[in-house]
A and B are shown apart, each in its own frame.
Chain A
């Protein structure tokens, strides 16, 4: 069945460092891909999404490109801030909006230090 694999954390960075969190997927169809973020004590929030190959999702300085050839959707940010400390989840869905079943990776904890 469909699955998502993302790099294990925690990832620890200094402020203004470059961030990459790797995510790869396995799917039989043509899924939509998502990144969710969970800040301490809060629910998961949609960070960005891409619905087809070569699409780039972006939000709050984060971006990820849907790479069908490598089945990847790596999350990047050029300069992280302390406020970016959170757990990041990669996910896929067979529907374009993630309205129904979402398949998640295990999450990657990011800690950014001043």
Chain B
């Protein structure tokens, strides 16, 4: 099946710094990528949807200036958590798909903000 990778798998950063997480589709061209967040013992929540070459569409309640999403190519999307704070500590998961295909998920990135 199709493979989606994420880098890094885990990251620890200081409060106030920015962190970039990469999501890559390794063997297919992803026209659409999704970013999810999961807090402990809670559901995965969709944060935003991005189409290659277009601005991301954010879900209600997600701050677009805090979570910057770039989908500049058909194989790469990045999520930048700007001025991270401890409450941003979470598990971030991306998924990717081509047109009208199922979503393929990355293994996730665990972010810890100290």
Contact = CB atoms under 8 A, between A and B. Distances in A.
Given A100-B49, A101-B49, A45 B43 contact: no
A104 B104 CA distance: 15
B107 A46 contact: no
Interface residues of A, number: 22
B97 interface: yes
A99 B102 contact: yes
Contacts, number: 50
Given A41-B107, A43-B4, A44-B105, A102 B100 contact: no
B1 A45 contact: yes
A98 to B, nearest CB: 6
Contacts of B45: 104
18 contacts: A4-B43, A8-B41, A41-B107, A43-B4, A43-B105, A43-B108, A97-B100, A97-B102, A99-B100, A99-B103, A101-B46, A101-B49, A104-B44, A106-B41, A106-B42, A106-B43, A107-B38, A107-B43
